Amino acid sequence: MKIIERDELLSIIRAPRSKEDHAALSLSDYCIENMLLEEMDLSNIDFSWSDIKNVSFANSTLRNCKFDNVLFINTDFSYSDLRGTSFSGANLRKCSLYSSDARGVNFFTSLLEGADLKDIITDESTRYFRLRCPESGYFIGYKKCFNQRMVTLLIPKDAKRSSATSDTCRCSEAKVLEISNLDKTQFYKEAYSYVETDFVYRLGEISTANNYNDDRWSDSTGGIHFYMTWEEAAGYM
């Protein structure tokens, strides 16, 4: 990973480029740290696989950038224009996205635990930010357990539920409606969790996660983890 200084970075960004080249500017696999990059147009740049530390992008335009798999530490995106940008797999823990425009942003599997998301602007084109499961009412979910056993769950209307930035959801309790193998040719009365081997799902019973974590963005944490579709659950490894 190459360490880049501010003057060199700005020289690359400001160098004359054709319209075709502008969309292809790559600054991936760089270490960018201790910089003020505020109120600048940094659109259409690929920063993927970089480390960005102690950098302020406040009030900057960062449209259609790629920040995939970037490690952000103490990074400020407040009031920035992020429309169309991808943060897939990025670590944004404790960073500020305060009042940023995240319409069309892809947050798939990004880490948002502890991030300042107050007044962030999103819409239906913002990916993996809104709840993957219904916010209210009861619904059906699915999970794969030990020995490839598939569990069909009824999540009650009063159960706590959440999702972070992937297809996985969590809930505080669920009733076991069915336990079967992958092709539904065999059925069972119980199934054991992959992660907590002493947690057993029993047919017809309500399973309760006493360690349910209310922090939505803390993804790998307490709760009954499930998917909204059979196919997603069956693909869990």
The single residue listed with the structure tokens 């209310």 is 214
Q: Chain-centre distance of CA 3, in angstroms?
A: 27
- Could you tell me which of 204, 208, 203 has the C-alpha nearest to residue 159? 208
Closest CA to 171 of 225, 218, 210, 216: 225
Domain boundary among 95, 113, 130: 130
Indicate if the pLDDT at residue 18 is higher than 90: no
CB crowding 75-92: b at 16 or more within 10 Å, else e: bbbbbbbbbbbbbbbbbb
Written as six digits, the tokens of 120 are 């962030």
Residue-number span of the structural domain to which 187 is assigned: 139-234
Query: What is the mean pLDDT of the segment spanning 76-96?
Result: 98
* Counted domains in the chain: 2
Residue 112 CB partners (closer than 8 Å, separation 6+): 92, 93, 164, 165, 217
Please name the residues in contact with 39: beta carbons below 8 A apart, sequence gap of 6 or more.
58, 59, 60
Q: Which residues partner with 227 through β-bridges?
A: 142
- Interatomic CA distance for residues 214 and 222, integer angstroms: 9
Same domain, 114 and 1: yes
Domain co-membership, 16 together with 120: yes
Q: pTM of the prediction?
A: 0.90
20 pLDDT more than 70? no
Helix, strand, coil percentages (3-state) for the chain, rounded to 5, are: 10, 35, 60
- Same domain for 103 and 145, yes or no, is no
> Could you give the CA distance from residue 155 to residue 176 in angstroms, rounded to a whole number?
9
On whether both 114 and 160 belong to a single domain, the answer is no
Compute the distance between CA of residue 161 and CA of residue 192 in angstroms, rounded to an integer.
21
**Which domain-ending residue is among 85, 104, 130?**
130
Q: Provide the pLDDT for residue 11.
A: 92
Q: What is the CATH number of the domain that holds 52?
A: 2.160.20.80
- For the stretch 179-232, pLDDT in tens is 999 999 999 999 999 988 889 999 999 999 999 999 999 988 999 999 999 999
Q: Locate tokens 């969590």: which residue?
A: 170
